[in-house]
Every structure is written in structure tokens, then in C-alpha cells.
Structure 1
Amino acid sequence: MGITTFTFLFVIALSIDSFGIGCVLGMKKISLSLRGILTIAFLSGAGFMVSSYMGALILPIVHPDYAERVGALALIGIGLYFLYQYFRKPDHSQKKEPWSQPARVLNDPVAADVDQSGGIKGKEVWLLGAALSLDTLGAGISGAFMGVEPFVTALWISIITFIMLYAGILSGAKLSEKAESVSIVPAVLLITIGIIKLT
């Protein structure tokens, strides 16, 4: 797999969950301004770029022959984690605040509307952005090990996340039945990419 094809699949895998979350918000009639979408897209790209440069700092201590394999295994691990999150039965025994557990927002995007005002604004935008950046943080380190260009990849992640989230919100009502299933795609893509890079 060439670096261009890998980067393309990599970006899609890290951005497509935004579409599913946008669908849920659109279905529930929860508003999110263009400025909010732009902020979330920026956070996703920034999270990847920062973690990618952190990975670059670690890279010199990893033997070149093993760097790509380590990155691939890390991608598979991230994919398996999100797959586990997808299939895990929700725990309703105690109500956890989304501020202390941003990952909860990935399974229940409506939780980002903390004040239940019917719109995501202010600090809630940052909460949703933090949730969507969780996978980019780990993937940034993996990407550094596999040779992706941090700035360009981060820029594309921001652009595609913006498009996916905006399109998801617009089409939420029509695609509401498929919205939940979209969230499994990033995990499957990350695992697939990792396996391909191992072979």
C-alpha cells in the first residue's frame, strides 16, 4: 500500500465517525453552528498533529525495522478498543457526567448537549471536540511510526471532519436508522489498515 493510499484511508478512518455523530444530532434536532463545527474539526486535526509530533520524538528509540510494525499494531489496538466501546452494553447503574468522561459522547452524542438546551454551544462544543479527538490522539503516534506527514494529514483530517459532521447534521433525519451503524466503520478501517501494514 502506497503512502498516498494509506494516508487517504487513514484520514477517512479518523473522520467518518463525525458523520454518524452528525446524523444523531440532526435526528434529535440538536443544533450546532458552523463555527462550532469548525472548532471541532480544528480540534481533531490539532490533536492528531500534536500526538504525531510526540510520536516523532519517540521514533528515534525504536529500531527502523520495527517502527512500522509497532505503528500497525497500535492502530489495530485502537480499532479493537473502539470496537469494544461499540459493542459494550451501556451501564445505566450510575449516571456519569460527560465532562469527566468525554468518551461517553461517542456512544451517546446527545450527552454533549449537557444543559439540554437543544443546541451544542460554548463549552459543549469543546466537549464534543474532545470526544471526536480521542482516536486521533492515539493514531497520531501510530502515523508517525508509519511515515505519514503530520501537518498535511492533520489538515486533511480537519477538512474531512468538517465535511462529515456538517453532512451528517444535514442528513440526520433521513439517515437516522443508519447513524448508529456508521460509528463502527472507523474501528473496522483502523484494524484493516493495521493488518495490511503488517503483511
Structure 2
Amino acid sequence: MGVPMFTFLFVLAVSMDSFGIGCVLGMKKIHITFRGILLISFVSGGMFLASSYLGYLLLPFISPVYAERIGAIALILIGMYFLWQFFRSPDQEDEEEPWLNPAKVLNDPLAADVDHSGGIQGKEVWLLGAALSLDTIGAGISGAFIGISPFLTATLIAISTFAMLSGGVISGSKWTEKVESVSILPGVLLIIIGLIKLT
């Protein structure tokens, strides 16, 4: 499989959560502005770019063969963590505030509306951006190890996050029961990418 296809699958895996979260916000009529979606997209792309360059700083200290294997294994572990998040029961959720645990927003997108105003605004935009960027940190370092272009991929992630989040919000009312099944795909895709890179 060529680098373009890897990059496509990688971007899809990292940004697909945005669609599921957008659907939930759309269903619950939680408003988010165009500028808010744009900011979240830049945060996701920026975090990936920063973590990619961190990965490239580590490359001189690691053999190229081992670097690719480490990157592939890391992607598999991130994918498995996504699946664990998807399948764990609701009673395993912690009671931490979203500000202290942004990952909580991935499991309960409504938690991003901290003030219950019916909209994502101000600091809440940064909270949602941080939550959607959590997976890009590990994925960025792993991506550097397996040879994915950092700047191109970061740009595509920003564009894809914008499209996915916007599309999710717009079509939220039509997806209802299907949102959860979409949420499982990022983990599966990351595991597939990792396994292919290991072979």
C-alpha cells in the first residue's frame, strides 16, 4: 500500500471522531459557530504537526527499522485504547470535570457545553478542540516514525476535522442511532494501519 493511501487512512482515522461528536451536538441542538469549528480544526492540525516534529526529533536516536515498528505498535495500541473507550460500560465513567479530563468529552460530547447554555462558545471551544486533539498527539509521533509527511498530513487533518465536524452537526438529527457505530471506526482503522506497517 502506497504512502498516499496510508495518509488518507491515517487522516480518516484521526478526524472521524469529529463527525460522531458533531452528530451528537446536532441531535441535541447544541450550537457551535463557524469560527469555533475553524478554531477546533486548527488546534487538531497544529497538535498533530507539533507532535510529528517531536517524533522527528527522536528519529536520530532510533534505528529506522525499529522506528517504523515502534510507530506501528503505537498506532495499534492507540487503536486498542479507542476500542476500549467505545466498549467500556457507562458506569466506568469517572466524575472528573471536563476541564481536568478533556477525554471525557469524547465519550460524552454534551460535557463540552460546561455552562449548559445550549452552545459551544468561548473556553468551551478550546475544551472541545483539546478533546479532539488527544489522539493526534500519539498519532503524530507514530506518524513520524512510519514516514508520513507531517505538514501535509496536519493540513489534511485540519481540513478533514472541519468537514467532519460541520457535516456531523448538520446531519446530526438524521443519524440518531447510527452515531455510536461510526465511533468504533477510528480505532479499527488505526489498528489496521499499524498491522499493515508491521508486515
- Deviation (angstroms), 1:92: 6.9
Letter in 1 for 2:197: K
In 2, Cα distance between the equivalents of 1:50 and 1:90?
A: 33
Matching residue of 1:140: 140
- Provide the rounded CA distance (Å) in 2 between the counterparts of 1:86 and 1:79: 11
Tell me the CA shift for residue 93 of structure 1. 8.1
Cα separation, partners in 2 of 1:74 and 1:93, compared to 1, 3 Å: closer
User: For the structure 1 residues 93 and 136, does the alpha-carbon distance in structure 2 shift closer, same or farther, using more than 3 Å as the test?
Assistant: closer
Looking at structure 1, the residues matched to 65 and 73 of structure 2 have their Cα atoms a distance apart, in angstroms, of 14
1:119 aligns with 2:119: yes
Q: Displacement of 1:65 after TM fit?
A: 1.6
Cα distance in 2 between the residues matched to 1:97 and 1:143: 31
State how many pairs are aligned. Answer: 199
What residue number does 2:176 align with?
176
The reply to whether residue 186 of structure 1 matches residue 186 of structure 2 is yes
Q: Residue in 1 aligned with 2:33?
A: 33
TM-fit CA distance, 1:70:
0.8
Q: Per residue, is there more helix in 1 or in 2? A: 2
Residues 160 and 94 from structure 1, CA distance in 2 versus in 1: closer, same or farther, beyond 3 angstroms? Answer: closer
Residue in 2 that maps onto 1:158: 158
CA deviation map 1:165-193 (0-9, x unaligned): 00000000001111122111100100011
- Structure 1 range deviating more: 73-82 or 92-101: 92-101
| 1:38-117 paired onto structure 2 within 5 Å | 38-91=38-91, 95-117=95-117
Offset of residue 197 of structure 1 = 0.9
Deviation for aligned residue 1:94 = 6.0
Unaligned ranges ≥5, structure 2: none
1:131 matches 2:131: yes
- Identity of counterpart residues, as a percentage? 68
Shift of 1:82: 1.1
Aligned match of 1:3: 3
TM-score between both structures, scaled by the size of structure 2: 0.97
Counterparts of 2:96 and 2:71, CA distance in 1: 33
Q: For the residues of structure 1 that align with 2:139 and 2:90, how far apart are their CA atoms? A: 25
Q: In structure 1, what is the Cα distance between the partners aligned to 2:175 and 2:78?
A: 27
Query: Could you tell me how far 1:95 is from its partner in structure 2?
Result: 2.8
TM-score, structure 1 normalization: 0.97
1:81-109 deviation digits (Å, cap 9, x = unpaired): 11111111123786321000000000000
SS at match of 2:174: coil
What secondary structure is seen at the aligned counterpart in 2 of 1:74?
helix
Q: Look up the equivalent residue of 2:169 and give its one-letter code.
A: I
> 2: CA distance between counterparts of 1:69 and 1:164?
30
CA offsets, 1:17-69, max 9 Å, x none? 10000000000000000100001110100010000000000111111121111
